[in-house]
Structure 1
Amino acid sequence: MKKDIHPDNHQVIFQDVNSGYRFLSHSTKKSEETAEWEDGKTYPLIKVEVSSDTHPFYTGRQKFNEKGGRVEQFNKKYNMGK
């Protein structure tokens, strides 16, 4: 591999701004903010809007459309069902 063509990959703390959930991972993103992790070391802090802690798919709080499709809605509205 060629030297000096790859971005700097370093450990950062990602923090979900909605729940406060934090996790340590690798990233090429840079941040001026820092935070101390459980191991006592200081890492750059990156705030995110959604993480696995608050995303509906991972939390099981996903909303499903119970109305049905357009045809079902039409049939229900005009009593044209079976």
Structure 2
Amino acid sequence: MKPNIHPEYHQVVFVDSTTGYKLLTGSTRTSDETVEYEGNTYPMIRVEITSDSHPFYTGKQKFTTADGAVNKFNKKYGLK
């Protein structure tokens, strides 16, 4: 790698705005906000959605089958 062209890689805590879930990971992003996590202080980055609140991971996702959507459309707009 070429020297002096890559951003600094460091530990940050991502915080889910909805659930408060915290995830410590490495990132090139930084923030002026800090948070105490497991006895240390890290930069904190707020995010709107994580695996803790995303419907796919929480199991609260709605699945629409193609047949159901077609039947619903035909019921509403189809020929009689």
Fold match by TM threshold 0.5: yes
CA distance in 1, matches of 2:74, 2:20: 46
Q: Partner letter of residue 30 of structure 1?
A: T
Structure 2 residue runs without a partner (length 5+): none
Q: CA deviation at 1:76?
A: 3.5
How many residues align? The count is: 78
Instruction: Write 1 or 2 for the structure with the bigger share of helix.
Output: 2
Rg larger in structure: 1
Structure 1 residue runs without a partner (length 5+): none
Which residue in 1 is equivalent to 2:27? Answer: 27
Deviation track 1:1-37 (CA, whole Å, cap 9, x = no partner) reads: 2111111111000000100100100111110000111
Which residue in 1 is equivalent to 2:55? Answer: 56
CA distance in 1, matches of 2:46, 2:73: 45
Task: Among all aligned residue pairs of Structure 1 and Structure 2, give the percentage whose two residues are the same amino acid.
Answer: 55
* SS of the residue 2:43 aligns to: strand
* SS of the residue 1:69 aligns to: helix
TM-score (norm. length: structure 2): 0.83
CA distance in 2, matches of 1:35, 1:73: 49
Q: CA deviation at 1:73?
A: 2.7
